[in-house]
Structure formats: structure tokens, C-alpha cells
A and B are shown apart, each in its own frame.
Chain A
Amino acid sequence: MKLKNMMTAAAVAALIAGTANAGSITVVSWGGAYTKSQIEAYHKPWMAETGNTIISEDYNGGVAEVKSQVEAGNVTWDLVDVELSDAVRGCDEGLFEEIDASVLPAGADGTPAKDDFVAGAINDCAVASIVWSTVFAYDSTTTKAPATISDFFDVANFPGKRGLRKNPKANLEMALMADGVAAGDVYAMLRTSEGVDRAFAKLDTLKGNVVWWEAGAQPPQLLADGEVVMTTAYNGRIFNAAVNENKPFVVVWDGQILDFDLWAIPKGSKNKDLAMEFLIYSTDTKRLADQASWISYGPARKSSGSMVGLFSDGKTQMAPHMPTAAANLTNALANDFAFWADNQDELNERFNAWLAKF
């Protein structure tokens, strides 16, 4: 509500200022601290500069809503923040507009866009804005400090419940890394049925000690409520709880899984051109660097890296909290979207059956 009022106020202000041909687009993202960072870094300056308005909506990931809008021929979303595997799959299924990457501007240092974005950030139908990661975090007041991903799976030495995302993604990879598989071999191993068995066997060792979560806002809440002593989570959510709300939460970077969030335009969007304009604006060097001062997700452009400064509280240095910081990358894995696009049907099925009997 408050948000809408704010947007309306911005719209009115823009009208009074007499800006010509103001339009409106609906931008959909994941809510919470993450959407706030986008509003502060992208939406507000864009609305002030162009006089257009943005209606911000929240969703919980997946392409089901986009699919039903596209199939019903009534597309009300103009731009959606999607995960990499969903971007690829939605593109495959013809749910997203194709994006001509040549219109993306060069970086602030003059590097052409295709070299400025980190590898894999530009796709047929989507352009990445951030690099985020699935990490595990613990509450330093309820458990002794774990150091590696193996400790997360070690219930004997680190007793207490664990929070895990109710999804095979990230869990299987982390299970293998905890079982001693090197990050570089994880996906090769998961392509074999022995590898999948091994991952599930490792997850079995957590039996009776797991609380499952689905929305990104849940893990910090589970930690705060004392429901779990450690949990997997999106790194930005833990950072916000720790820095903004002074919670005693600590991120363990060992075994982190890096992923992209990307902008995609649903096929048949009524404001496609305007959405594209906003997409180009929001993924330029400065905006991406700005966003990093609101949440600890890394910018998808290399040229933004050097511009990342302090958090919005004015005292926390952001660089060490970025998933892409060198110190955090010692044992890290980049999410292999092709693997998941190929195998998610089967692994989801197996995971669901496994979960039902867990």
C-alpha cells in the first residue's frame, strides 16, 4: 500500500513536472529486502528521470504465473526477476521475449557489454543484474562455529536442527561437497546415478533434523526463532538480518553456490519497449553498483565492482560481503543451469518421493 502511494506520488510529481509521454510498467520481483534494494537503486531514479511509473509486485519465483498469463493471452507483468534455470526454461517454452544484447550499453570504463557482464550473465531472453549465492549461516549464540560445509551435515559434532530449501537444487550439490567431492566434479558426479544416490545418502544423515523452507525470507526467521541452529539461505537475506537488525548470524562461505538473478520480459507484454528501456537503464554500471549498497549481492557487470562502496548504513564495507569477493570463493560452485534444465524433472520427482518418506 505504502509502496503504491509512493509510486502514485512519484507519478503525480512527474505529471506536474510536465514530462512528456509518461508510461507505466509492472515490475515483479522477490519482495523483502531484495525488492527494496531494486526500488532504491533502479526504480526511484528511473521514475525521477523519465517520469514513467513502476508498479512493483512480489512473487515467489518459478514461471507458472508467466506461463498462465502468456497462455491466457493476458500479460499484465512487463518485467520479471527470474532465476537462471527459470530464465532458460521459460525461454525454451517461449514464455519470454528474446532480448537483443547488442542494445546494452558499454560499461562505465568503455568495455563492451558482452565482455563487461560476467560469463553467462547475458542469455537469449534475459539479462542478469546480480550474482547471489546459496550459503549456509548459523546463529553464533546457539552453536559453536562451523567452518566448512561438512560441518553443516555433521549432526554429531554440531547438534541442532538445520534449515534446508525444499528443493533439490543446491541441496544435492552441497551434500556432495560435504561428502568430500571437489566443487569442480560435483555436476559430473550428479550426472551419474551413483552420484545422485550418494547425494541423497548424505542428505539422509540429516534425518529428523531438518526444517524445510520455501520463501527466501524464512531462513533468517527460522534462525531468529531458534527453530534451527543453522540453515541454508540466500546470502543477502542473512546479511540484512545481521547488519540491519543486529542478529548474531554468521555466513559460512565454504561450499557456496553462485547463481544469477535476471530480468526477463514475458512474451506479449503490452509495454515491451518501456520494459526494455528500464532493463537497459537498470543494468548499467552505476545502477548495478548502487544496488550493492542496499543488499550484499554482487553486480553482474565487472565494471561495477570497483564502484561498490559502503552499505546504506554508511559504515559497513560491502566488498567482503559480496559472494564474488576473492576470499569467499575458495570453495565455491557456480550453478550449472544446463544440468538443472536437463535433469530437474527427474530430480524433482526423486526429491519429492524421498521427502515424502524422509
Chain B
Amino acid sequence: MTDTSNTLVAADGTPLRRKLARALFRSRVRAFGLVLPLLAFVIAAFIIPIVVLLWQSVYDPRYAELMPNSTAAMADWDAKSAITEEMAAAMVADLIVVRKDKTIGKVATRINREISGARSTFTITARAAAKMKPPYLEALIANDALWADPELWRGVKIASKWLNPGYIANALDFKYEADGSFSRTDPERAIHVMLFLRTLEISFTVTVLCLLLGYPVAYLLSTLPARSSNLLLILVLLPFWTSLLVRTTAWIAMLQSQGVMNDLFVVFGIAAEDDRFSLIYNKTGTLISMTHILMPFMILPLYSVMKTIPPSYVRAAKSMGATNWTSFWRVYFPQSVPGIGAGALLVFILAIGYYITPALVGGQDGQMISNIIDFHMRRSLNWNLAAALGLVLLVFVMFLFWVYDRLVGIDNMKLG
């Protein structure tokens, strides 16, 4: 191999192979150097925060960190047998410490997620904990009768697990039990699965509506002479350049019961003055405004694909006796499929995570899963549950993407 007499050498005497490898390496480093800033940016601003947030869906060390003795004692308990003095003693010892450190609030908030109302049990007991004497279990019960309830201790056992599948279970309308099993959330509180399905339904309907309404527009754009098609294209792009909020509020002005549309309906006698249509603050409002807002994302890929379809193909089909419909369906339509693929995927994925529009015009039956994620981020401060819902949504979208790839083929779509 290293027989120098046979290898080609460069002008300076080094083997050509090595010289070439070095040159290639250098250009690869340079290319990598060029993408490095972007890569670093994506990792720092996108990948790391997402991973950190999703990690929260199972990672909840609050109780375990603040109440180490109780956590250890709970680990030995099987969640069925009687409450032991040892568990009670560990609880009292920890409560004294968190009361002194003023971290009792954090512990109480955590417990309250498992057992509603237990917050005050914890804060009040912590106040008295320093004066308690053995037997501790009786002292606890004397302080608040709730301590005799095994349900409370089961809640403590769940909270003490720092690696906790409870949030993901909750995101799927299941309840994680202290003995490690899962049970269904009672129907009065189950909401997430229904919201996931509704999100799917709304996104799918919006995609279909965008396609039905956008296809003819894109076709018109690609066939009109340049002058008029440019004008039309600007009309398509104009809403695109307008703020999302402005467009959504404009729809409120249009659709509300005293709004422009309803006024017209009354004038033309379609609706009665005192019985106007409910076009907004419900699912209808969400569908109408989301379809309008996402329309350009359908039209533009369609247009760029249609622009490349030579009109001569359709003419050729017609010259051989095809009807208008046959020449469209058999010749034109198959060539526009990559555009449909791209547009549909784009609209669907944007729609599934849509948040601000349903929040403003959705009322109650037009809310999507992103609105409940927002609720847990901003209102209930249950970031763990918000992360779990986000994780489920992400996995779900990836699954859909995989199905889509199987059915349509990712290579089979074109953005332009």
C-alpha cells in the first residue's frame, strides 16, 4: 500500500491521495464552519429548550428533594397496608424542616395536585409539627383528621416519585395510582383525548377547505397572463403580510352577531333580526378564520408546482379526444399532486399547533389542545402537565408524518 514508487505524487512530492484527502477535509471543515453558527443557534434556541421542557413531563423532584425522610419512608410502603408510625415520624421530621426553610408552600402545592385540599392540611400541620410528640401518627391525626385517610398517603407516595409517569398518563386521560397501576380518569374530568381528537378534526377540516378553495385560485394564477396573475398573487399575499392578530380581530368584526355578515343576512332576509347566526365564538368561527389565515400556505406551493406543468400536455390530451374533465383528471391533476402534498402537509402541521386564533374566536367548542397547554403554562402553573401534553402532541405529529410518508412519500412533494 505504501509503496511510493507506484503512487502518484504531487509537485511537492507528497502522495496525491493524501494531498487530495487533505484538500477535501479542508473544504469540509470550511463548509461545516459556515453552517456552524446556524447549527449552534438551532441547538441552543430550539433543541435544548425542547428537550429540557419535555423532560419535565416525567421529571418532578420537588417533593423528593424537600422531603427526603418522608420520601424514603414512602418508598417502602406498598400503598395498601396500614399507615405506619415510621411514615408519620418521617413526615413530621420533614415538615419541621420545610416550615423552617419556608419551602412548605412548594411541598403543599405539589401535594395539592394529587389530593385536592391537602394544601391546607400540610401548611397547618407544618405550623404545629415542631411541638408534636410521639406517637406521631396520632399527633398528626389529632391535628387534621385527613391524616387518617390512606388516600392522602397514597397521594404523598405518588408525589414522592421524582421520575413520575403520572403527567403523561394524565395527558392521555389516565390516572397513575400509588401502587403503580393506571386507571381511567372519571368522565367528568376527562378532557384531553377529546381535545386531541377535536384538534385533529379541526386541522383536517381546515386542510380540506384550504385545498378545495385554494386549488382553483392557484390554477387561475398559473394560467392567467403574467400581468393579471401578478395582481392576483399580490391579493393572495396581502393578507400574508398583515398581522395575524389584525386578521383574527377583523374576523370578529365580520362574524359577530351584530357584525357585517349577520347585518347582510338580515338585510337579505336570510336571518331574522332577533335570531342571528352564531358564526363566531364557536367551532364555525375557528374553522372560517383558520382557513382564511392558512390559505396562502396552500396556494403558494400549489401555484409553484402548477407553474411548471406545461399547458401543451393538456392540449395534447384534448387533441386526442379527451373531454375537459378527463384531460384535467388524468393529465393535469396527477402532475399537481406534489403541490397538494406539500400544501396539505404545511397547512395541517401549522393547524395542529394553532393557538391564538382558536383562543380569540373559538368560544368553548372551538378550543384546541394548544389552548389547554397554554392554560397549564400560564394559569395553573402545572408545567409538568403542559410538557406531557406537548410531548403527546409531538409524538402524535411525528406519527402522522410517518404515515404521510408511507402514503404520499416525502420525496414526492415539492415546495417549488
Which B358-389 residues have a C-beta within 8 angstroms of A?
A: 363-365, 367, 372, 375, 377-382
In the complex, are the beta carbons of B257 and A227 less than 8 A apart?
Answer: yes
CA distance A225 to B378 in the complex (A): 29
Q: Is B80 close to A, CB under 8 A?
A: no
* Candidates B102, B194, B258; contact of A356 at CB < 8 Å: B194
Complex alpha-carbon distance, A45 and B379, angstroms:
34
| B337 touches A (CB below 8 Å) | no
Report B118 CB to chain A, min CB distance, Å: 8
B117, B123, B256, B381 interface centre (most CB from chain A within 10 Å): B381
Q: Which residues of A contact B291 (CB under 8 A)?
A: none
B113 interface residue (CB < 8 Å to A): yes
* B116 contacts partner chain A, Cβ-Cβ < 8 Å: yes
Contacts of A92 in B (CB 8 A): 104-106, 108-109, 119, 123
Within 8 A of A (CB), among B96-134: 102-106, 108-109, 112-113, 116-120, 123
Q: Which of A341, A357, A358 interacts with B119 by CB under 8 Å?
A: A341
| Per-residue B-contact encoding for A15-56, CB less than 8 Å = 1, 0 else | 000000000000000000000000000000000000000000
B378 surroundings in chain A (CB, below 8 A):
62, 64
| B257 and A352 form a contact (CB under 8 A) | no
A94 touches B102 (CB 8 A): yes
Residues on A with beta carbons closer than 8 Å to the beta carbon of B109: 89, 92-93
- CB-based contact B189/A94 at 8 Å: no
Report the minimum CB–CB distance from B182 to chain A (whole Å): 18
- Please state if A62 and B379 are interface contacts (CB–CB under 8 Å): yes
With contacts A62-B379, A342-B119 taken as known, whether A212 is within 8 angstroms of B363 at the C-beta atoms is: yes
Question: Which residues on B sit within 8 Å (CB–CB) of A212?
Answer: 281, 363-364
A63 to chain B, nearest CB (A): 7
Q: Which residues of chain A are within 8 angstroms of B372 by Cβ–Cβ distance?
A: 352
Looking at the complex, which of A103-111, A130-138, A237-245, A343-351 is the stretch in contact with chain B?
A343-351
- The answer to whether A112 has its CB under 8 Å from any CB of chain B is no
Shortest distance between the CB of A264 and any CB in chain B (Å): 14
Chain A 173-208: CB-based contact to B (< 8 A → 1; otherwise 0): 000000000000000000100000000000000000
Q: Quick one: given A212-B363, A358-B364, are A348 and B379 in contact (CB under 8 Å)?
A: yes
Does the CB pair B106–A345 fall under 8 Å? no
The reply to whether A227 and B381 contact each other, CB–CB distance below 8 Å, is no
Total A residues in contact with B, Cβ cutoff 8 Å: 34
- Which of chain A's residues have a CB closer than 8 A to the CB of B106? 92-94
Residues of chain A within 8 A of B102, CB atoms compared: 94
CB contact under 8 A between A93 and B105, given known A63-B381, A64-B378, A353-B190:
yes
- Residues from chain B with a CB closer than 8 A to the CB of A354 are 188
Contact with B along A320-358 (1 / 0, CB 8 A): 000000000000000000100111111111101111111
A91–B112 CA distance with the chains assembled, in angstroms: 15
A203 to B281, CA, bound (A): 18
Which of B105, B258, B367 is close to A225, meaning CB atoms less than 8 Å apart?
B258
Contact across chains for B281 and A211 when beta carbons are under 8 A apart: yes
Q: Shortest Cβ distance from B76 into chain A, in angstroms? A: 28
Q: Smallest Cβ distance from B80 to chain A, in angstroms?
A: 24
- A226 in the interface, Cβ–Cβ < 8 Å? yes
Measured between beta carbons, the chain A residues less than 8 angstroms from B105 are: 91-94
Is the interface on chain B under 10, 10 to 19, 20 to 34, or 35 or more residues? 35 or more
A102 to B114, CA, bound (A): 37
Q: Which residue of B lies closest to A88 (CB)?
A: B105
Please give, as numbers and ranges, the residues of chain A lying within 8 Å of B392 by CB-CB distance: none
Complex formed: what's the CA distance from A89 to B110 in Å? 12
Q: With a CB–CB cut-off of 8 A, which chain A residues contact B163? A: none
A227 and B258 contacting across the interface, CB-CB below 8 Å? yes
Contact with B along A212-237 (1 / 0, CB 8 A): 10000000000001110000000000
Q: Does A114 contact B (CB under 8 A)?
A: no
Per the bound structure, the CA–CA distance linking A94 and B62 in Å amounts to 13
CA distance A211 to B104 in the complex (A): 39
A64/B113 in contact, CB under 8 A? no
B120 and A338: CB pair below 8 A? yes
Identify which of B116, B191, B281 contacts A352 (C-beta below 8 A).
B191
Contacts of A210 in B (CB 8 A): 364
Closest to B362 in A: A212
* B116 engages A345 (CB within 8 Å): yes
What chain A residues lie within 8 Å of B381 (beta carbons)?
62-64, 67, 89, 93
Q: Inside 8 A of B363's CB, which chain A residues have their CB?
A: 211-212
Contacts of A342 in B (CB 8 A): 112, 116-120
Are B108 and A345 touching (Cβ within 8 A)? no
CB distance A343 to B117 under 8 Å?
Answer: yes
Within 8 Å CB of B103, what residues of A?
94
| Chain B, residue nearest A65 (CB) | B378
Q: State how many angstroms separate the Cβ of B248 from the closest Cβ of chain A.
A: 14
Distance in angstroms from A206 CB to nearest chain B CB is: 12
Distance, CA A91 to CA B123, complexed state (A): 13
Q: Which residues of the partner chain B approach A91 to less than 8 Å between Cβ atoms?
A: 105
Task: Name B380's contact: one of A211, A345, A355 (CB within 8 Å).
Answer: A345
Contact of B317 with A by CB under 8 A: no
Report Cα–Cα, A347/B119, bound state, in Å.
14
The docked-state distance in angstroms from the alpha carbon of A210 to that of B278 is: 12
Residue from A89, A211, A343, A353 in contact with B116 in the complex, judged by beta carbons closer than 8 Å:
A343
Encode B186-205 as 1/0 by CB contact (under 8 A) with A: 00111100110000000000
Given contacts A91-B105, A94-B102, contact A64 B364 (CB under 8 A): no
Complex CA distance for A353 and B103, rounded to whole angstroms? 32
Residues on B with beta carbons closer than 8 Å to the beta carbon of A358: 364-365
Q: List, in ascending order, chain B residues with CB within 8 A of A338's CB.
A: 120
Q: For residue A355, which residues in chain B have a CB less than 8 angstroms away from its CB?
A: 364, 367
| A211 cross-chain contacts in B, Cβ below 8 A | 281, 363
Q: Is the Cβ of A352 less than 8 Å from the Cβ of B375?
A: yes
Contact across chains for A356 and B116 when beta carbons are under 8 A apart = no
User: 15 more A-B contacts (CB under 8 A) besides A62-B379, A341-B119, A353-B190?
Assistant: A92-B108, A93-B381, A94-B105, A94-B106, A211-B281, A227-B257, A342-B118, A345-B116, A348-B380, A349-B189, A349-B191, A352-B191, A353-B189, A354-B188, A355-B364
Q: Give B residues with C-beta under 8 Å from A.
A: 102-106, 108-109, 112-113, 116-120, 123, 188-191, 194-195, 256-258, 281, 363-365, 367, 372, 375, 377-382
> What are the 3 A-B residue pairs with the smallest beta carbon separation, nearest first?
A92-B105, A346-B116, A64-B378
13 pairs of residues in contact across A and B, judged by CB atoms under 8 Å: A62-B381, A92-B105, A94-B103, A94-B105, A94-B106, A211-B281, A212-B363, A342-B120, A346-B117, A348-B380, A350-B189, A353-B189, A356-B364
